[in-house]
Amino acid sequence: MRKFNKKATKRRMDVLWSNLVRLRDTHCLVCGTTENLQAHHAIVTKAHSNATRWDIRNGVTLCYRCHICKLHGSSDKVFLQDYLEKLNEKIPQDIQDDIRIKSNGIVKDSQANLKMIEDSLQDML
């Protein structure tokens, strides 16, 4: 039996999450393109909470240009605030509220718990 590798498991789960978000949205929610799509943690960053890291409701699809160049590449705080507000308009308020509440929870990085989350992501494909 192969030894459990937490880091590799999380990487697989991140890929599953990204695939599911991009399959659901099919295009960049900012500019509408269908090329060079990426998934973005829209409400709570993945570093902030494992409780929402793999929740597809916390994701939106953006193209590379809108995601990296505009969102992560801008130092203009007014632009970013406006950009994020427009992006959050794409997500219903009740889902945003639920994700924020859920982000305060703690998800243990146990093998069993990560396996359960990974299996649920696999089931969504």
Cα–Cα distances (Å) from 7 to 3, 4, 13, 18, 111, in that order, read 12, 9, 10, 17, 11
Domain of 103, in residue numbers: 13-114
* Predicted confidence (pLDDT) at residue 72 exceeds the cutoff of 80: no
Structural domains of the chain, count: 1
Residue 68 inside a domain? The answer is: yes
If pLDDT is split at 50, 70 and 90, which confidence band does 71 have?
Answer: confident
So what's the pLDDT on residue 13?
Answer: 95
Q: Which residues pair with 40 in a beta bridge?
A: 60
Residue 77 inside a domain? The answer is: yes
If pLDDT is split at 50, 70 and 90, which confidence band does 22 have?
Answer: very high
Residue 124 inside a domain? The answer is: no
